Structure 1
């Protein structure tokens, strides 16, 4: 799925590893630029794709078509119960994580896999709703937290993970909450939809709310990570699919930036993938009565008429490859900066090393006729003055950070915490009031269609809608706080750029004044954009870890109570029964007073909305307090640790090490100096050749 990007990541990682292994770069430069961290970020990244769909839309078949392997259960009677994540593993195994904290791994270490089908059957047992009539066995939805499936699949080889979520409109009430929660943890989400449901008012409202919820899982809120696939196009007329596509696109346009909607056949995609991987042959496909398509000349093709060359048509009809390409493009756009950042750092390291080689060569030649005692004194002066400058800028930046986070003496001075407080105070009232109006409007729509026969279904659907919208409101606040945090902290880093440049400039000027060698201008060590990227990454990581708490309610009990109150007992008709009632032997019947029952439901729901409104307000206030505390800690950690201590300390250590090395070289004997000059010349040629390769690859990547 993300092979093109992974190839670039691998090539970049190889170049970095080569530089360190072949010793093109000194140990000091490698440590100063922190290549270990850059390699880790390049190689250990994961791309989680979540698939969300209502029950029986073909979610498991769709995932299998992405994997090109028949792994997950595809029975129409099966409903996913536990979050199932498919990951790469050299050996096939299933890891079951229980809510109690226990973990079960199948097969056990002492039990080798003899039958893949048996392991798949066990996977089905642990990831789907228990439908045993007597209720025995594992109650998956109650006992199991998540399931990880490790399988040697090419798709997942380089960090791609596929997350199979419990379905929308699920029978198990907790599934909507689980699905909403997992949206915060994934990098991309695919909503899989049956064309026949598009246009249904309730379905469209709920899907729209889920999309709004998914938008809150990224700070930018554009929804670029959200994809839509209209499934089973092989089972519906083209006109119906086209109409569904147009209606869905129209609904999405106002809420998602450039909606990505695909028309797919998961089953055709799975068949094409299995054939490509050699799991089935052309005769297997010919015998499949569900495989029917129209060839390039407009003739229907099925059964014995299917030829090997027709597999391209089957794959093309499925459009699964288009979904994969779109995911790959999104992932590349989202993570391209990692490659650019690593290559920029590699270029910068080469330039620093070449500069250091020039300094070394200059002073080695100078040492042959220079005053070694005088040179040592000058180095000591530079070290002392440079140390003072570093300590001074650290104190200055710490004062500035404190001022930017908490504000100065003046009430009008900028303060990150004050800005966050102003935002949350403004949002708390408006978010909760807008939410109440939204759910009241939704209930009026539901109330119009309410009867005693469908009350349970409508109320259940409405409660799920209320929970989902309440979660969206809380996520909205979290999202906007982190968006402001990212914006303001990026601005602080930008304002610090000049101070970093001045530190390097002062060192270069002092170096030239005392030692007579002019160093190249500009800042080579402090990569401004790299610092900004790291700040954004840390804020995004923290944002992904925030999620509002779901509100539980005993609304079902209240509805049942209203039903009981609306049941009236009356004597059965008939003269004989009339006389029997005189002696206490008459027969009686119960019937539901519908108007009274519906009035009772109306009261319960209105009370429920008000109680939920108060709880939402309370939750938002709690989130506000927690976010402000987190923002303060996060800002201090990022700015003081990453910017001040880590980066400036690394620069100081690198420069002091260079000065010590210069002094050491200056004290060498004439024979040692000449030998060092020859060795230096060889290293310069090797480094220049390597640097040219890095530059060429950088240009290739950028273009």
Structure 2
């Protein structure tokens, strides 16, 4: 799925090791670049994919299809109740964290003490992640399965969430804790479900929530999978697709919809990797595929041979989804690759430019008086130092003015607070209108026995609506911050461009020529890193805000519940000793008469609670912006300092060269010319390989594995 990204990453990391060991590439230039920080970001770059689906849509089979292993139980009774993550490790093991207990359990063996296999791991997971044991979701926070899976090698994590719409649904975990923290969300859909009214309402809410939980434009991170194309007719699948597009209209303009057979994808991959014998496929009555020789007919049973593994995968269309998902994830973390590539180019070109400048100056100094030349160098060093200090102060002032504001301008905090305050007014009106509408509809069905259930349903719907609205508000605030930070980086780059010109003027004035471009006064690499920090902070703040909203709704609901003494003679007798029992419930006898007033009161409480949220929402966003601005200032300072260090070192080295005799100088020039040739060869080789990777050699390799790409 991430083959090209993984191949490029591996090549770059190997090349960096080569550059660090090379006697031709200037180590001082490497050491005074941003390469080490960028390598750390590249190595830590991760890809999280969450699977969300209604119960019985075939989610476990789909995950098994993606990973190519029969790992998660496909038993329809084994409904997932615990968040399960799949990550890479050389050995199979299971990590269990608990809700109320800080300890972490690591399971590496089965009940017999044998190392876990995929089969024994599957049996363990069936016990600890499904609703067969009703205590699982009360005890276990999450389960992480570590396996030697190629698809997870490059920090890819696949997250299986509890099924939607079931009685065991973990609404908060799915919509508020998991989705904001992943790179991509896959909504998996059973063709039978799409037209149902309950499904339509719920899926729109979940998709809207997923869209609001990311800063991506128009839900680009959301994928939709219509499963079971092996079970349903083509007409049924197309009908389901059309209905899904109708459901998503107004939410996502161009939804990324794929039609797959998770079952065929899993079986085809297992056959390809020899996890299944051909006899297992031949005995499977579900497996029927178009005849490769004549697609109008199907083949099954003993007609299917080992070489048909790729045909089974092709029929499943699972590779098409993987390709689309891989391309998105690669583009998501593309800046990690491009930043490193850009720095490598700069290191190589800086080394060559430095060598050329040194050669030119050494040839000039032979004809010049040493004392005069040293004076020129010292004077230039002084001017470079002065420019550095002036620039640093100017940029710090620029950052401070934009983020903190001043006498003449609004600060970022003012802008965000004004934005959130204005939006909260609109949200409060929407909440009041929405609660009234839902309550007016719901109260018509109320009787003595269902009153509490209906009110709870209205409040849960209101909570869902509230959280969705607040998420969208926070999202808009973060998008505004992204724009401000991007503008700030652009302003900084403009200042650095001016500094570059001044440095060149100083070099020409003092030495009669400029150093060419030695050292990189460019902040392009800060854009990707800063935007990534904003997105990470967005997910963390979003989880916190959503939880805060839910607590406020719960507080509002609890204020409408009274404590009532439990009836019965025994409780009366216990009361004589001050030990009577009470239970939480609505006063149902009075309740029906007072419901309208209760809902009005609840609405007022929610409005008041929401108005209190302005500071709690704005503060973390502002704090995050200040922290990012601080990081930018620090990184820019390092960039400027590194460039000055390199230029100063060039001048210091030139002074040392002046102490050599003419033969030694000529020998040094010859060595530098040889180094230029060697570094140029490395640069040419680097650009050729980058071009190959960009043109998609990996796509060719994939086409050998599956006819999907042919």
- Identify whether the pair has TM-score above 0.5, normalized to the shorter chain: yes
The answer on whether the counterparts of 2:184 and 2:221 sit within 8 Å (CA) in structure 1 is yes
Q: 1:186 aligns with which of 169, 173, 182?
A: 182
CA distance in 2, matches of 1:564, 1:194: 47
Pair 539,116 (structure 1): closer, same or farther in 2 beyond 3 Å? closer
How far 1:447 moved relative to its partner?
Answer: 5.4
CA distance in 1, matches of 2:317, 2:693: 28
Pair 446,189 (structure 1): closer, same or farther in 2 beyond 3 Å? farther
Matched, 1:359 2:357: yes
Q: What's 1:396 paired with?
A: 394
Which stretch of the first structure deviates more once superposed, 240-249 or 86-95?
A: 240-249
The answer on whether the counterparts of 2:226 and 2:259 sit within 8 Å (CA) in structure 1 is yes
Which stretch of the first structure deviates more once superposed, 621-630 or 446-455?
A: 446-455
Q: What's 1:584 paired with?
A: none
Pair 68,563 (structure 1): closer, same or farther in 2 beyond 3 Å? farther
1:388-428 Cα shifts (integer Å, max 9, x gaps): 11111211222222222233323xx3533332232122211
Q: 2:151 aligns with which of 148, 152, 155?
A: 155
Which stretch of the first structure deviates more once superposed, 606-615 or 419-428?
A: 606-615
SS at match of 2:230: helix
Pair 39,406 (structure 1): closer, same or farther in 2 beyond 3 Å? closer
The answer on whether the counterparts of 2:51 and 2:186 sit within 8 Å (CA) in structure 1 is yes
The answer on whether the counterparts of 2:24 and 2:678 sit within 8 Å (CA) in structure 1 is yes
Q: What's 1:374 paired with?
A: 372
Q: What's 1:694 paired with?
A: 686
SS at match of 1:373: helix
Q: What's 1:344 paired with?
A: 342
SS at match of 1:33: coil
1:184-212 Cα shifts (integer Å, max 9, x gaps): 11000001111111122222111111111
Q: What's 2:160 paired with?
A: 164
Alignment of 1:554-703 (within 5 A): 607-631=601-625, 633-643=626-636, 645-700=637-692
CA distance in 2, matches of 1:24, 1:215: 50
Q: How many pairs were matched up?
A: 665
Q: What's 1:102 paired with?
A: 103
CA distance in 2, matches of 1:265, 1:459: 41
Q: 1:533 aligns with which of 528, 531, 544?
A: 528
* Root-mean-square deviation over aligned CA pairs: 3.2
CA distance in 2, matches of 1:541, 1:154: 26
SS at match of 2:275: coil
How far 1:245 moved relative to its partner?
Answer: 0.8
The answer on whether the counterparts of 1:405 and 1:635 sit within 8 Å (CA) in structure 2 is no
Q: 2:213 aligns with which of 207, 213, 217?
A: 217
Which stretch of the first structure deviates more once superposed, 691-700 or 197-206?
A: 691-700
Which runs of 5 or more residues in structure 2 are unaligned? Answer: 567-586, 696-710
TM-score normalised to structure 1 length: 0.86
How far 1:517 moved relative to its partner?
Answer: 2.6
Pair 450,23 (structure 1): closer, same or farther in 2 beyond 3 Å? farther
Pair 4,558 (structure 1): closer, same or farther in 2 beyond 3 Å? same
TM-score normalised to structure 2 length: 0.85
Pair 599,201 (structure 1): closer, same or farther in 2 beyond 3 Å? farther
The answer on whether the counterparts of 1:451 and 1:594 sit within 8 Å (CA) in structure 2 is no
Pair 414,600 (structure 1): closer, same or farther in 2 beyond 3 Å? closer
Matched, 1:280 2:281: no
The answer on whether the counterparts of 1:199 and 1:244 sit within 8 Å (CA) in structure 2 is yes
Alignment of 1:128-277 (within 5 A): 128-131=130-133, 139-172=135-168, 174-277=170-273
CA distance in 2, matches of 1:698, 1:318: 33
CA distance in 1, matches of 2:648, 2:301: 77
1:684-703 Cα shifts (integer Å, max 9, x gaps): 11011112223334555666
Which stretch of the first structure deviates more once superposed, 424-433 or 185-194?
A: 424-433
SS at match of 1:278: coil
Which stretch of the first structure deviates more once superposed, 617-626 or 183-192?
A: 617-626
SS at match of 1:233: coil
The answer on whether the counterparts of 2:519 and 2:643 sit within 8 Å (CA) in structure 1 is no
Pair 306,13 (structure 1): closer, same or farther in 2 beyond 3 Å? same
CA distance in 2, matches of 1:49, 1:500: 39
